Amino acid sequence: MKNTCVSWVGLLLMSALAGGCGGGGSSTAATSTSSATPTTTSSSTTTTVTTPTTSTGSGTSTASTPATTTSTVPPVVIPSLSGVAAAGAPLLGAMVRIVDANGIRVNMIDGAGNLVDRYRTSTADGSFRFQLSTPTPSLPLLVQVAGVDGTGTPVVIHSTLNTTTLPQIVNVTPATEAVVAQVLGASPRSVFANAATVWPSMALMGSTTAVTSASNQIKTVIAANLTDAKISDTKNLDFFRDETFLANKLGLDAALEGLRIQIVKDSIGRDQLQLGNKLLTPGVVEVKIDLATARTELAKGASGVVTKAISSTLKVTTSPNKTGLPNLATLDDLSTAVNKMVAQGANAATFLASPVLTSHTFQDGRSRVALADILAGYATRNNQLGRWQVMGCVELPVPTTGCTKVSVSTLVSDRSGNVVDVLADTVGYNASVTPSWVFVGNARSALVKVHSVAQASFNLDGVAQVGTLAPANGIQVLTRAVDYAGASAQAVQSAVIQVPSGYSVLYKYCGMAELCITPNASLSPVATGELKDTQLQKPAPGWLGSQDAARGAKFVASVTLMGTATDTVTPYLMSDLALDLSTSLFPKPDASLSTAAMVAGGAVNWANWANANPDMRMLSLRLITTSPAGTAQIADYPLANPFATTLTLPATATASSGFQLWMIALDALGRRYYSQFNSAF
């Protein structure tokens, strides 16, 4: 019998046994029917097959009595999907969700046989494998992965499956996000969230021509990165279905590690894909692609010219290897070395004597000794470092000889795989030691960060407060005022913050962990715990020209440390101000707050908000109580686990005359959203 390529239905029936077309010899086909409802039975079907037997004795063939044999046909196998989700570092424990070509959510089957609408990636390498609840989903599928990257920043990226070819691989990376965004002509996050109504726009993902053209455009734009990663056969490079893809800083993953890829709104509100070399000055965008134009050209098929969608002067990204990443593949050896010491129970002195720390100085005000204490704490709790994510170059502008100090970050997990911390530092490459990447620090004695922030005020029931301003945005400057010791002590006295437009604003110590803004050098500010303590206010000098609030805006902080020492820090604004100030973006508890509950203490839950906003995460909660004398008592509750959806607050002193609960969240572009809940006792 002639060898035959098994059909899609046949492959679904035998996907656990067959890997596609091929093999030799004859075969007997068996058919079966399947319901879209998952089966929980593991029994097989026995089929009787009658085969004529031929005798070849002396060369003449004679018919003999048919022989009856019994074969076992495997039960229907639900099709499975597998892949890797990574955004530089692997996305650990991220949620995978799927919608089909009709905008309908595709369910999955977990390891216990339960029907679920989401599935978590591995907490080791970002891989996933699961079964779909239906053997015949309507293609193309739109796949969404929502988690946090190595910096703890929320990430939502997408991919597509538009083929029935086995094995069913669907990798999810910033590269697949860039391709899918062009085909959809909009932010995939928005399309996924509204798939039930905008599903017709997803049909173009089913066009091999469109997906290939969009992929080729991205390959051309990041050609230097692919060359750096030693990928010579770019024609056959498949962003979506590469079975060998791993988040290991080799091949495609190495190319993506040196890139910053994101989707933002341009000045007129159109979705724009932005790409650039991650080691350049923060905020630099090298290539801009208008997504609506890209879709228009892709929809024309072979006659479309997708390059028309590139709206920037520069058409390709620059090479990060020329600025310091040629040895990236060995970066994770640093985690391996630290994790080995952690497993051996190393103390702080052991870490200090190790090559991984001997070259370290300061990192944003954290001393070498403080870092050793942190690592020793991981050893005490048997926490493990994950894979590192490159954040950028500490030396700005990047030296012509290349970046020698690379800013990196990683998630830290406990023995159960739960994220318990985020460790950020600066590393350098030294081929004469093992591991070759070691901690070096950024040599900054102070930590100053600039954030785009937005604030909204609510009643305890979550309704926007009557008489308050609508949600507003602005710029927040955070200067760490205390050291990193177990019993934190004041480390910074004041800071003069010069904004890009040339004005300066004074911040002074106010008893909090960060400095507070003050209108007069002779005054000592009194902390209120509210956002106004650190946010540049409109009445203040220097508020805020267009260049001050633009992504990449450079601020200069002249910091006075305790004693006579000073330091100059140049933080950059990493994102534009938020334009979408919908109250749905601001974090809220699942249930209304009450004065009695706040006095008694207890759990605050926000799972509903988290589910509705997969591209955001809760950073911390702050409880401010006011004494009868009017003094604010400020208690901060940072959330080390970026996946947390609940926090238990302690009981509040009954002598308080009122309280404020602040919920602080972070979005995928690094913007912070502050929700203020007020009550008077």
Q: What Cα–Cα distance (Å) separates residue 199 from each residue in 161, 205, 299, 331?
A: 15, 11, 16, 42
pLDDT at residue 50 is higher than 90: no
* Token pair for 95: 């949620």
pLDDT-based confidence at residue 217 (cuts at 50, 70, 90): very high
Supply φ then ψ for residue 288, to 5 degrees. Answer: -120, 130
> Which tokens go with 246?
């791993």
| Separation of alpha carbons 420 and 271, rounded Å | 35
Instruction: Count other Cβ atoms within 10 Å, centred on residue 8.
Output: 14
pLDDT in tens, 124-155: 899 999 999 988 889 999 999 999 999 999 99
How many Cα atoms sit within 13 Å of 170 on the Cβ side? 26
Q: How confident is the model at residue 195 (pLDDT cuts 50, 70, 90)?
A: very high
pLDDT in the model for residue 11: 33
Q: How many CB atoms lie within 10 A of CB 329?
A: 17
Q: Is the pLDDT of residue 1 over 50?
A: no
Mean pLDDT for 560-572 is: 93
Q: Report pLDDT for 51.
A: 35
- Give the Cα separation of 15 and 78 in Å (integer): 8
**Distance of alpha carbon 176 from alpha carbon 156, whole angstroms:** 12
**What is the chain's length?**
681
Q: Would you state the pLDDT for residue 468?
A: 64
**Helix (H) or strand (E) segment spanning residue 262:** strand 259-265
Mean pLDDT, range 613-620, rounded to an integer: 95
- Range from 353-357, 400-404, 547-551 that averages highest in pLDDT: 353-357
Lowest average pLDDT, out of 157-166, 520-529, 539-548, goes to 539-548
Q: Is the peptide bond before 167 cis (omega within 30 degrees of 0)?
A: yes
Which tens digit of pLDDT belongs to each residue from 623-664? 998 777 777 889 999 998 899 999 999 887 665 667 889 999
Q: What tens digit of pLDDT does each residue of 422-443 get?
A: 999 999 999 999 999 999 999 9
Question: At a CB cut-off of 8 Å and minimum separation 6, what does 400 contact?
Answer: none
CB-neighbour burial class of residue 104 (10 A; exposed 0-12, middle 13-18, buried 19+):
middle
- Res 653: pLDDT: 64
Give the pLDDT of residue 366.
95
Where do the structural domains in the chain lie, given as residue ranges?
8-33+40-73, 80-323, 328-438, 448-569, 583-680
> Is the predicted pLDDT of residue 8 greater than 50, yes or no?
no
Residue 259: both structure tokens together: 């890139």
pLDDT tens digits, 156-189 = 999 999 988 888 999 999 999 999 999 999 999 9
Q: What is the DSSP letter of 179?
A: H
What is residue 49's predicted lDDT score, i.e. its pLDDT? 34
The answer to whether residues 164 and 241 touch, using CB atoms and an 8 Å cutoff, is: no
Query: Residue 3's pLDDT is what?
Result: 39
Buried b (16+ CB within 10 A) or exposed e, 468-493: eeebbbbbbbbbbbbbbeeeeeebbb
Residue 6 confidence (pLDDT): 34
Q: What is the DSSP string of 373-419?
A: HHHHHHHHHT-EE---EEEEESSSSPPTT----EEEEEEEE-TTS-E
Residue 100: the pLDDT is 96
DSSP state at residue 5: P
Provide the mean pLDDT of the chain.
Answer: 85
Local confidence band at 596 (pLDDT 50, 70, 90 cut-offs):
confident
Mean pLDDT of 207-220: 97
pLDDT at residue 371 greater than cutoff 80: yes
For residues 473 and 446, which has the higher predicted lDDT (pLDDT)?
446
Task: Give per-residue pLDDT as tens, 55-93.
Answer: 333 333 333 334 444 444 444 445 789 999 999 899 999
Torsion angle in degrees (nearest 10) through CA of 375, 667, 239, 293:
-150
The residues, ordered by sequence, that sit 6+ positions from 111 with a Cβ below 8 Å of its Cβ are: none
What is the average pLDDT across 280-285? 90
Residue 152 region by backbone torsions, left for phi larger than 0, else alpha for psi between -120 and 50, else beta: left
The mean pLDDT value for 114-132 works out to 92
Written as one string, the DSSP assignment of 612-628 is H-TTEEEEEEEEEEE-T
CA distance 611 to 156: 13
For residue 40, pLDDT over 60 is answered with no
Residue 25 — pLDDT band, cuts 50, 70, 90?
Answer: very low
Task: Report CA torsion sign: 599, 601, 603, 609.
Answer: positive
Q: DSSP string of 285-321?
A: --EEEEHHHHHHHHTTGGG--GGGGB-SS--SPPPSG
Query: 458: helix, coil or strand?
Result: strand
What are the structure tokens assigned to 206, written together? 């089913």
Which tens digits make up the pLDDT trace of 311-363? 999 999 998 887 777 889 999 999 999 999 999 999 999 999 999 999 999 99
What is the average per-residue pLDDT within 530-558? 80
Please state which CATH number belongs to domain 583-680.
2.60.40
The Cα angle at residue 483 between residues 413 and 635, in degrees rounded to 5: 75
